Structures are given as structure tokens and as C-alpha cells.
Amino acid sequence: MTTQQPNIVLIMADQLAPQFTSSYGHPVVKTPHMDKLASRGMRFDAAYCNAPLCAPSRFSFMSGQLVTRIAAYDNASEFLSSIPTFAHYLRHMGYRTCLSGKMHFVGPDQLHGFDERITTDIYPSDFAWTPDWELADERIDKWYHNMDTVREAGVAQTTFQIEYDEEVAFFARRKLFEYASEKQQPFCMVASFIHPHDPYVARPEWWDLYDHDAIDMPTSTIPYDEQDGFSRRLMDGIEATTVIPTDDEVRNARHAYYANTSYFDSKVGQIVKTLEECNQLENTIVIVTADHGDMLGERGLWYKMNFFEHSARVPLIMAGPKVKRGTLNSPCSLVDILPTMMDIAAMDKDTKPQLGQPIDGRSLWPMATTGKEDHGQAIGEYCAEMTAHPVIMIRRDQYKYIHCDSDAPMLFNIANDPLERSNLAEHPDYADLAQQFADEIKSNWDMPTIRADVVAKQKQRQAVYEAMQNGVRADWDYNPPRNASEEYVRNHMDWTEKAAKTRFPPYPSE
């Protein structure tokens, strides 16, 4: 395999809004390792998720396809094994592929093209988290977000999230040394962490990075009766209308989120340092992103599940060989990662495999390597809890349009109104533009058909899940293969050979 193909390491956060990083200009939050990557690479300033919820966003990201194309509607939607992912295409192009950490695969296929997964996942892989659009106003108390995570924010020595991310980083770093020792194929590794996703609980050393009194409060608060229809449903759904956090609780939650953002950033630093230590950094494209953001109290909203900027935007930083230094303002999204990776891996167009399904994204590699804007767009779709109709977002140029059949449309000029306080959808000066967006939605999305499919898929999964609660339990949760008799030093091994194999850099041969 030619050395022209660079390695790819993608580091993914969970629920990280770029606005809450120093890399994107926040005056309080400390993300020095992301800052360093951005200083030597390209920072995309209008990158969006394609669905502001964990599993749908990740399925779009891996497949390069929008939610409605692959029926990846919610956190219990099955990700079909027949859908090609970037891991499949990169394998075709000669790469070894590895996932360390979260991807929230739902269904019996827990690899989706990766050669191997070296950790388990952190969330269930069955149909338990299926919403019900026929009872859209009813809370599913077992797993719906509520305000407890805001009220209980603070400091702890350990949490299940900390345990998980420590494991993700350890196994990712060990695998990078293994790849470097083998010196064979190029590799693509995804290291996917759960932080800074709620619950907002941080270890003391990260909490203590910040002066509690310096934690900024939300810049935009909107009374309930002035909220748009969808935001009111979100507030009702997370119980934010009945459980109102105090200012101290809000500040605690933001403090812990900032601390956990710095913790995630430290993992970025560890992985980049490991690439340096194993002499792979100069031939590796490093990408840092997230599956969606977090409102963190902005507009009176928390978590995600909407298309306002703090929920829908994601960080996207790319650094490595051929990547220019700079920033880009063209709207883009996570479905663009798959074609970007294929461009990175391809020495020329002839090396690309035939696509198994149409791709909704475009490659960001030309922008990353030239610094020239392509003036593209970002599309978002939301078909999960706290709505009973699809929600569609179009971000193009400086405008964002949001449509849902049950709500009034929203149109914002993001350049002039970054807090999205002025809805221009009914403004006479923007009537033509609003109508153009409305016509585009009507032309490209068959809302009744999409809604009918969402409801039908929910009923299928609900029936399967309820049946699986009886009889012998069968789990899809991924169990990473481990064979203790082949680890470290065992009686059937020559320990000197084992020591030489795992030592990096190797002892100089005579």
C-alpha cells in the first residue's frame, strides 16, 4: 500500500456546542488542544448536525445520508446493516478501520464496516427508547430528559461517563501504537467520547479549572408564553415549565459542562500526543467534531432536540497534511464527512469505490486544502420525541429556515441575529425568501408520507421490544472480544518476542 494515503483519526464529542469552546471564541472555556489543532488547520464555523439527537446524527454521519433517507428517526431506530458507511468504503480503499467508544448503533449489526470495535457502547442497542408519535404529549419517564441533571450538577470523583471515556482513550491509544508497530495499511480510527453530555458532573481537577463566579449565565432567556410552539413542547417535555432551576443550579450545570468540555479536550490532546509518539502525526488527518450541541439554558432550553444554533451546530476542526490554515464560513454538516474521507483516502478518482447508495453530502476536502469557500448548505431533519411531525432545517448563506407542519415557520438571518431572536418568516421584506424556502420544503419532503413511515416504524419496534421482555433475554449490546490467554505474557509465548512486539519504538536491531 502506497504511503500517499494518510491515516485518518476522527475524535468525536457528545453534545458539544462549539460556542462553548475557546477554539470558537468563548472567553471562559479552556480547550487548548482543540485550539492548537485549529491553529495549524482549518476551522469550519458553520458546521451542523443533520439531526440534533445522538443516534440519528451518528447514523447520518456514518452513512453520508439524511435521516429520512435511511429511516434513522430516533434513538431506537435500527441502523440497517445494508447501509454502506465510510468504514465500508475505506476498507475497500485499503484502510484498517477501528471504533473506540460510542456510536449508539441500534440493532444486531454492531460493526457497520469497522474491522473492529475495541470498547463496548455506553447506551442500549435495542428498541427501548422508541418514542410514540400517537401519544406525543406523554412523557416516557424512564428515559426522557428532565431537569434533574441540571439541579444535581456538580462534582464527583467518578461517574459511569468518566469510567467510559477513560476506557475509550486507553484502548484508542493502545491501538494507535499497534498500528504504528505493524507499519502496514493506512488506518482510520474513530475515538468517540460521551463527554460533555449530561449529567453535568465533573471531577474536581476539571471543575477547579474554573472560577465559579466567572461562569457566564445564558445570554438569551425567553419567557414561556413568548416561545415558539416547538420550544414550548420541548420545555414541557423536559419538565422545564414545572421544575425551574435556580440561578445557582444553572451556573453549576454550566460550570460542570465547561469542566467536562476541558476534560474532553484533554482526550484530544492525549490522542494527538500518541500520534506524535508513534511517529504518525505528520501522515494523519485529525478531525474533531461532535454529534450535536447543547442549549445549556440558552433561550430557556436544555440539551438538544431543536435546530437553534447551540443545539444544531457542531465543532469541526481538521488538521494534517495538505490542510490549509484558516477558517471557513460555508454551511456544511456531518453528512459531508463521508465524501471528505473518501477524498482524503483517494490518490486519484480511479481509486474510489462505487457508491452503494446516493450520498447527501459533499466533500469538504477542496475547501480544507484551498481555503476557498464553496457556499454550500446544511440540511437537518428531526423525527424523534417531543414532536408529532417532522421538523426540517435548511441553512443556506446567512439564512436558516425551520419548518414543522404543526408550528409556524421560522426564518433567521444568522449573520445579523446570531441569537435567533427575530423571526423573519412573516416579515414583509422577507416574504419572497420565506416563500422560496417553503416551496423547497414542499417540493423535497413529502411530510404525510414521512410521518406515516415514522409511526409505522415506531409500532414495529414497540411490538418487538415488548415481546423481547419475555422469555430468554437476548442482547445486542456489543461485547468486545478478549482472550486473556493471548494477552501480555503467557506460558506458550516467548516473552522476549512479546516484549519486542509491544515495545515502541522498537529496540534498534544490529
54 is catalytic: yes
Q: What are the Cα distances from residue 487, in Å, to 223, 274, 492?
A: 59, 21, 11
CA distance linking residue 267 with residue 32, whole number of Å: 11
CA distance linking residue 315 with residue 16, whole number of Å: 7
3-state secondary structure of 344: helix
104 is catalytic: yes
DSSP character string of 428-489: GGGHHHHHHHHHHHHHH--HHHHHHHHHHHHHHHHHHHHHHTSSS-----------GGGSS-
φ/ψ of 331, rounded to 5, equals: -60, 140
How many other CB atoms sit within 10 Å of the CB of residue 45? 16
Closest CA to 334 of 7, 16, 98: 16
CA distance linking residue 285 with residue 412, whole number of Å: 34
CA-derived radius of gyration, the chain:
23
Closest CA to 291 of 279, 303, 277: 303
CA distance linking residue 376 with residue 378, whole number of Å: 7
Residue from 33, 49, 88, 104 carrying the catalytic annotation: 104
Residue from 49, 54, 98, 383 carrying the catalytic annotation: 54
Enumerate the active-site residues. 54, 104
